Structures are given as C-alpha cells and as structure tokens.
Amino acid sequence: MAEIKGREVLKVKAIAGTFDYSATSKLAGQKYRRFAQGGKVFIANEEDAFCKAFDAGNIYSVDLDSNDEGQLSMVGFTSIQQELNMAKTEVLLKSFTLENLIAGKITNPEELIALHTK
C-alpha cells in the first residue's frame, strides 16, 4: 500500500468523464470517475466523499493499493481539515504534561492550542 500526501497529492489528476459500472457489477446503476497517479489509473465511485473533496482541492493524502496485476485501487483518503484537526489534537495531547497540570497552566484545551500556535 502506498500513501500519497502533501504536495504529491497535487499530482493526482482527474480524467474527464463519468462512467457506468458494468451491468454485472454489484454497483450496477451507479457511476464512477477515473483518476491518474504515476501513470496508473484508479477509480472512485461518483458518490464517494473523495470525489467531492478532490473537486474542492481538499485532499491531504490518498491511500492506494494494487493487486497482482498492478491495478490501483483507492482504499482511503484524508482531507486537509481532518489533517489539521489531528495536528491540533496532537499538540493538545502533548501539552498534557505533569508539570503543566501541577502548575495549573492547563485550564482548558483551547488555551493549550493557543499557546502552541502562536
């Protein structure tokens, strides 16, 4: 499995058009879009949150896997907002030190975030 993140995500390109799943597919009646990465193509269901986030330029990372034939499949993605929220949470959790608790510096989480983002 490969994770593409940060500026590398900008190299994922949408291929124009939407396509019908085959009549024998369990997704028959739905549509998918194609995306290219590193010379290979992967698809995403048109209704998947990935497509909306991609169109809005809100993708931070994409997790891709490949089968034995080398065909890519998207197994997940992280939006920029999700990544920002996680970074804030990590700062918050790292701030919960025994020294800060004893000193009474921690009164609420928002103060901690403010201290670390100045």
116 residue type, one letter: H
- Count structural domains, the chain: 2
Which is it for strands 31-37 and 13-20: parallel, antiparallel or unpaired? antiparallel
* 75 and 55 in a common domain: yes
Give CA 65 to chain center in angstroms: 14
* 48 and 33 in a common domain: yes
pLDDT of residue 67: 83
pLDDT band at 101 (very low <50, low <70, confident <90, very high): low
The string of pLDDT tens digits covering residues 2-46 is 899 999 999 999 999 999 999 998 999 999 999 999 889 999 999
The string of pLDDT tens digits covering residues 41-69 is 999 999 999 999 999 999 999 999 988 88
Placement of tokens 């997790």 in the chain: 63
Q: pLDDT at residue 114 above 70?
A: no
φ/ψ of 77, rounded to 5, equals: -155, 160
What global pTM score does this model have?
0.74
* 61 and 13 in a common domain: yes
- List the domain range (segments joined by +) for residue 11: 2-79
